[in-house]
């Protein structure tokens, strides 16, 4: 079963508007971490934000915030005041801890295009 | 700049050949991960090393191997290359190997094209 699902292959947003990128996950672990990465057209993977399964507050990092709904198993990324430089692929990823195996499992990504 | 370096940035080679991709983790990071990003498979975990020892294996082909050296840099060796091995190969590093909160920082990647 797919662990991370990103249902939006592509999204458009007007500059200065907010946008929400969806991510749902599947795990039976109680302890896990959720991450968002940005991949611009140049190819590098840039870490944006982290949310732990036990964190009671939603994570925020500058213009990025994570709307974490544990019961729904969703971890949506909210980008406020979009900028042209936010145009990129965005990947949601999860890390579980069991049997000492802790790589990241990625979703297929959402391509965000910011329009002037 | 994540602090993770990868060389080379681009690599063009022929089928059947062997290549070596190199990664230097961030200063202080003990754990190195290798990922492959292709159009059809997305981002897939290949292998992880922690302080010189193999810690976890993912969907890594038998034609591929890796190691982490005493200075903590890592190399990914790809042999008997096939067209389907063309992909972007990422190295990532983190301080420890366990703990859900450990953030992995990615290098710029090596873009491999097999002709």
Q: What is the pLDDT of residues A74-97, one digit of tens each?
A: 999 999 999 999 999 999 999 887
pLDDT of residue B101 exceeding 90, the answer is no
Q: What pLDDT sits at residue A16?
A: 97
Mean pLDDT of B1-19: 96
DSSP for A62-115 reads TTEEEEEETTTTEEEEEE-S--GGG-EEEEEEEEE-BTTB---EE---EEEEEE
Q: What is the pLDDT of residues B62-89, one digit of tens each?
A: 999 999 999 999 999 999 999 999 999 9
Report the range of poorest mean pLDDT among A28-32, A44-48, A87-91, B67-71.
A28-32
Chain B environment of A66 (Cβ under 8 Å): none
pLDDT of residue A66 exceeding 70, the answer is yes
Q: What pLDDT sits at residue A73?
A: 96
pLDDT of residue A101 exceeding 60, the answer is no
Helices H, strands E: what count in chain A?
Answer: 0, 12
A25 vs B39: which has the higher pLDDT? A25
The answer to whether residue A50 neighbours chain B at the CB level (below 8 Å) is yes
Mean pLDDT of chain A: 93
Q: How confident is the model at residue A98 (pLDDT cuts 50, 70, 90)?
A: low
Question: Cβ A91–B108 below 8 Å, yes or no?
Answer: no
Tally of CB atoms within 10 A around A57: 8
Q: What pLDDT sits at residue B97?
A: 66
SS3 call for B111: strand
Chain A environment of B42 (Cβ under 8 Å): 106-109
Nearest CA in chain B to A102: B98
The answer to whether residue A53 neighbours chain B at the CB level (below 8 Å) is yes
CB-nearest to A103 from B56, B99, B111 is B56
pLDDT of residue A1 exceeding 60, the answer is no
Q: How confident is the model at residue A99 (pLDDT cuts 50, 70, 90)?
A: low
Q: Which of B85, B73, B72, B59 is nearest to A105 (CA)?
A: B59
What is d(CA B104, CA B93) in angstroms, rounded to the nearest whole number? 5
């Amino acid at each position: 079963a797919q662990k991370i699902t990103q249902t939006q292959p592509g999204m458009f947003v007007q500059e200065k508007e907010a946008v929400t990128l969806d991510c749902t996950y599947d795990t039976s672990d109680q302890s896990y971490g959720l991450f968002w990465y940005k991949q611009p057209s140049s190819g590098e993977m840039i870490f944006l934000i982290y949310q732990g399964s036990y964190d009671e507050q939603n994570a925020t990092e500058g213009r990025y915030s994570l709307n974490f709904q544990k019961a729904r198993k969703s971890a949506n990324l909210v980008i406020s005041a979009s900028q042209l430089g936010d145009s990129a692929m965005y990947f949601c990823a999860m890390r579980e801890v069991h049997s000492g195996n802790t790589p990241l499992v990625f979703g297929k990504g959402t391509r965000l295009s910011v329009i002037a | 700049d994540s602090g993770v370096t990868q060389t080379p940035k681009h690599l063009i080679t022929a089928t059947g050949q062997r290549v070596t991709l190199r990664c230097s983790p961030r200063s202080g990071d003990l754990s190195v991960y290798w990922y492959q990003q292709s159009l059809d498979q997305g981002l897939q975990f290949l292998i992880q090393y922690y302080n010189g020892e193999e810690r976890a294996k993912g969907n890594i082909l038998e034609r591929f191997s890796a190691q982490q050296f005493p200075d903590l840099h890592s190399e990914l060796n790809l042999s008997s290359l096939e067209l389907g091995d063309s992909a972007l190969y990422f190295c990532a590093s983190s301080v420890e190997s366990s703990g859900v909160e450990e953030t992995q920082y990615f290098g710029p990647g090596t873009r491999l094209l097999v002709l």
